[in-house]
Amino acid sequence: MSSASEVGGRAFAGPSLSTVFVGQQLVLDGRAALYWPAQRALVVADLHLEKGSYLRRCGHPLPLYDTTDTLARLRCLVDQYRPERIIALGDSFHDAAAVSRLPAPEREQIETLCARADWVWILGNHDPHVPDCLPGRCAERLQLGDLLLLHEPSDIDLPQIIGHFHPKASLRLAGTKVGGKCFLQSPIRLLLPAFGSYTGGLDSDHPAIAGALGAGRQKRFLLHAQKIWQIL
């Protein structure tokens, strides 16, 4: 990882950045993924596979390559980090029928990825049930050490890593405003950006995100051009 340097009052950290969350060293990857070295776990959120085919059925003339692109980017991360566990934090599929629309090559890609690690499908609001025809195991939440991994925030009294909100942020670099997906961190919550190719975002200042993060000092890490900018 690159060492941070100051650019226009912002800390530039290169393609990935280490952060400490509740005593755990975590790697925030500029490709919208989290790697937890102590657990050898790769975590991604909100893949929304087959969103393109869903929107096409609703009359939106979008290209049908979002699932292919999302899985290809995920494969690159798996090749680099070689995790023992891969955790998909919910909304992995855009709708209940998404799995039935998966083309054979994309289904094979999922099966290949699942065979490379202990794959955990965390259930989300878009995919409250993941069909048994897919490999991996399903769970509403997963506790690793003192951290809870799940799709939406819970009242359970544990620090949580969550998805769901698709956070985004912006900053000004060399006089130009740039924006993108972001990680958000508070003392008790870490929100992941959406990983899917066709996923939008909710501004990091939105009241719903403020409520999810809770009180305390917050950190924002903007993803731009596959690099991370910590917004100070």
List the single range of 48-52, 76-80, 108-112, 164-168 with lowest mean pLDDT.
48-52
Query: For residue 10, what pLDDT is reported?
Result: 53
Q: What is the pLDDT of residues 154-192, one digit of tens each?
A: 999 999 999 999 999 988 777 788 889 999 999 999 999
Give the distance, in angstroms, between the CA of residue 190 and the centroid of all CA atoms in the same chain: 11
pLDDT tens for 190-209 read 999 999 998 989 999 999 99
Mean pLDDT of 54-78: 86
Strand partners, 105: none
Q: Which CATH number does the domain 5-231 belong to among 1.10.10, 3.60.21, 1.25.40, 2.60.40?
A: 3.60.21
Classify 188 as helix, strand or coil. Answer: coil
Look at the alpha carbons of 75, 79, 84, 89 in this order and tell me if their dihedral is positive or negative. negative
User: Between residues 232 and 184, which one has the greater pLDDT?
Assistant: 184
User: Where are the chain's structural domains?
Assistant: 5-231
Is the predicted pLDDT of residue 80 greater than 70, yes or no?
yes
Dihedral sign for Cα 12, 184, 161, 203, please.
negative
* Residue-level pLDDT at 172: 78
Residue among 155, 144, 227, 151 nearest 191 (CA) = 151
Please give the share of the chain, as a percent, with pLDDT higher than 90: 76
- Cα–Cα dist 40/43, whole Å: 10
How far is CA 113 from each of CA 27, 159, 197, 229, rounded to the nearest angstrom?
A: 21, 28, 18, 29
Please write the tens of the pLDDT for every residue from 61-70. Answer: 777 789 999 9
Based on the number of CB atoms within 10 Å of its own CB, is 115 exposed (0-12), middle (13-18) or buried (19 or more)? exposed
